[in-house]
Structure 1
Amino acid sequence: MARSLTECKNCLQQFDSHYPYCPYCGQKSDDQLTLGVLFNNTLSNYFSVDARFFKSFFPLMFKPGYLAKQFVEGRRLLYLHPAQMYLFISIVFFFLFSFISRQQAEIIDNEIKKEIERSHLYQDSVKNRVAIHKDLLAEKDSLVALDDKLKPEDLGEAKTQSSNTPFNINFSETEIDSMITAGASDEAIYKKMGMEADDGFLTKRAYKQALKFLKNKSGGSILHAFYDSVPLAMFILLPIFALILKLFYHKKGRFAHHLVFSFYFFAFLFAILTLIVIGYLIWPNFPIWLMFLMLLSVFFYLFMGVRRFYGQGIGMSFFKTNVISFLFLSIVAPFALVIMGFMAFLFY
């Protein structure tokens, strides 16, 4: 009797038609795409990830190093993949933190508006004093009295604000504001600000960012640009942290093993930060001491994690945890802040 074969639509391999699923790729043999199938597959995939996430979350939070050890030893389908765990928790953190960053941006923008209003009121006041002073100078009998009461600098025009920024940029903010109000072209404003054609890339970028700030009068957007660079900085920090672990535990596995531990550790770090953000959103007067204790728990989590994962004694694990933490916080973290500031400068 001849075998009845069918071809998989996914991998194009042939197999016996009585098989309900392709033995090569696992796709259903008679996979008709209907709305119900699409909906069910979406829910199935979503909740299968959710199930593994919740199964992984408890050991992540309360059994430091356990998930990394299980993953390295080959148990890789029972729990959520370390990269997935890290991405999922970090996305939740940045989503919740966006509410706080929005509030901070609004506060900064409001303060800038108030400062601008105070500046305008001051300029108007000085102009009025100058006008009154000039009128009084016309009266000869008031000349001596005026000389005693008014300062020499009040005889000039209204005070102009100067903006001193890095890269040797120095210009009159009042004059630039006037040109912006008059609708002058950016090229004309750059020339007035002092930008030269042969200036370097960073200097020209500084002029552009300064003009953008003067047009928008929004410091909150600078803060947003800084926060937006955090994921990139963390993407750089994570493998560096794994490299530090590799240096201290070079006989304890490949670099990929240390990277797995780093993914789970950073997932825990973002979980703690997420809890702090939730506490702040629910309780505006979130206690500083409680926040400090939660952050301090990260150090003890790292200590217990490396002890379980690498299997060394308490004393050596505690010593290495201190040195790793010192190197990371004193060298790597400041480097990340520089990267974040530079990215904010470029993409503000």
Structure 2
Amino acid sequence: MKTEIDCCQNCEEPLEGDFKFCPNCGQKTNEELTLGVLFYNTISNYFSFDARFLKSFIPLMFKPGYLAKKFLEGKRLLYLHPAQMYLFVSVIFFFIFSFTVNDWIKEANNANAAIVKPNEIDRLNNAYEKALDTIVKMSQLRDEKTNGKSTQLSENETQKVIDSILKSVKSNQNGNSINFGISKKKLDSLRNAGVDNNIIYKEMGMDDDAGFITRGFYKTMLDLADGQGVGILIKRFADTIPIAMFFLLPIFAFLLKIFYFNRGRYAHHLVFSFYFFSFLFTVFSILLATNEIFDVIPWYVNLLIALSTFIYFYLAVLHFYNSHWFTTFIKANVITFIFLMMVIPFAAGIITVVAFVNA
């Protein structure tokens, strides 16, 4: 049974006349809840997003600066929103990147474990000691058979040889091991006894009043001594990259604002940056996925593709800001140099420190 509706059920604004849609919020005025209605909006929104992404993909990849320029001209529903494009592509990138990171972690942990595991030299020590004990006993037997008139080394001389060999072996062992402030044997003993990590940190030399950063440092050193520290560092580093990008992108837009101060508000440069970083994430996603699946792309091809992104950046700036080709080339080079040589290394240093001391 149809009922008269005096106001919108969604925004509660008064309705005048026989409106099928609310003029204030756009919701249907007489829509009954059915399974079709329940799933229509979800499917519609999904395919709308999908269609706009596909419509935006070709210009993003092959028309540098086009999407940003069209967005500022007011075409904001025809193509995918710059922030939405960036978030969508970055999620895909970091998903693919996680497989590469996992490979790095496995290789790093294997290398780390190989370094800190009980060294082959330890087994050589035992072998030398047993062999030299045998030499001593054989020398003593020969002395007995010859009534003390041995033509071999005396026991005292043999012991000197033993001490010399053991000293050489131990010196070699110290030169081929990593000191984490605690011996591997002692660490294994504490681990087997179920000793708390805080006690192990103190055995490694940590003070009782150590702060958060110092405690994180010792935790990392303990992870390294356990044979998994390098992998953990790589994982922490990778986990902080998405956060770092949210700071690097606005900084990049700020550099554009400095060099093109009279070419619009900061938000305009931010739109350009969103689309440009979306392009970068798309390119590197394709490279990572191809290398992960086929592992056939030579390193120099990857390098050339990475360097070609500068050409894209130059063309995007040239088209978006409508500036002279030569001044654009100079500015693009300076912006790239500042960002790659100063901003990114500084951010990478902070990320490394945070990853190293993060407990």
After TM superposition, is the score higher than 0.5? yes
Structure 1 residue 216 displacement after superposition: 6.4
- The answer to whether structure 1 residue 186 and structure 2 residue 170 are counterparts is no
Q: Which amino acid aligns with 2:348?
A: L
Q: Which amino acid aligns with 1:50?
A: D
Q: Quick one: which of 289, 310, 317 aligns to 2:328?
A: 317
Structure 1 residue 327 displacement after superposition: 0.6
The answer for the alignment partner of 2:157 in structure 1 is: 144
Structure 1 residue 174 displacement after superposition: 3.2
What do residues 229-274 of structure 1 show as CA deviations (whole Å, max 9, x unaligned)?
A: 1111111110000000011000000000000000011011111111
Q: Which amino acid aligns with 2:49?
A: V
Q: Percent identity?
A: 42
The answer for the alignment partner of 1:65 in structure 2 is: 65
Structure 1 residue 90 displacement after superposition: 1.2
Structure 1 gap ranges (5+) = 165-169
- The answer to whether structure 1 residue 306 and structure 2 residue 305 are counterparts is no
The alpha-carbon distance between structure 1 residues 181 and 34, as it changes in their structure 2 partners (threshold 3 A), is farther
TM-score normalized by the length of structure 2: 0.85
The answer for the alignment partner of 2:179 in structure 1 is: 163
Structure 1 residue 302 displacement after superposition: 0.9
Query: Are the counterparts in 1 of residues 221 and 229 from structure 2 also a CA contact under 8 Å?
Result: no
Matches within 5 A, 1:1-348: 4-16=4-16, 18-117=18-117, 119-133=118-132, 136-137=135-136, 141-148=154-161, 150-153=164-167, 162-164=178-180, 170-215=181-226, 217=228, 219-347=230-358
Q: Which structure is higher in strand share?
A: 1
Query: Are the counterparts in 1 of residues 216 and 358 from structure 2 also a CA contact under 8 Å?
Result: no
Whole-Å Cα distance in 2 between the matches of residues 204 and 288 of structure 1? 39
Larger radius of gyration: 2
Query: Are the counterparts in 2 of residues 130 and 156 from structure 1 also a CA contact under 8 Å?
Result: no
The alpha-carbon distance between structure 1 residues 56 and 156, as it changes in their structure 2 partners (threshold 3 A), is closer
The answer for the alignment partner of 1:167 in structure 2 is: none
Query: Are the counterparts in 1 of residues 109 and 230 from structure 2 also a CA contact under 8 Å?
Result: yes
Q: Which region of structure 1 is more displaced relative to structure 2, 323-332 or 181-190? A: 181-190
Aligned pair count reads: 340
Q: For residue 6 of structure 2, give the secondary structure of its aligned residue in structure 1.
A: strand
Q: For residue 320 of structure 1, give the secondary structure of its aligned residue in structure 2.
A: helix
Structure 2 gap ranges (5+) = 141-153
Whole-Å Cα distance in 1 between the matches of residues 113 and 204 of structure 2? 23
The alpha-carbon distance between structure 1 residues 15 and 303, as it changes in their structure 2 partners (threshold 3 A), is same
Query: Are the counterparts in 2 of residues 233 and 339 from structure 1 also a CA contact under 8 Å?
Result: no
TM-score normalized by the length of structure 1: 0.88
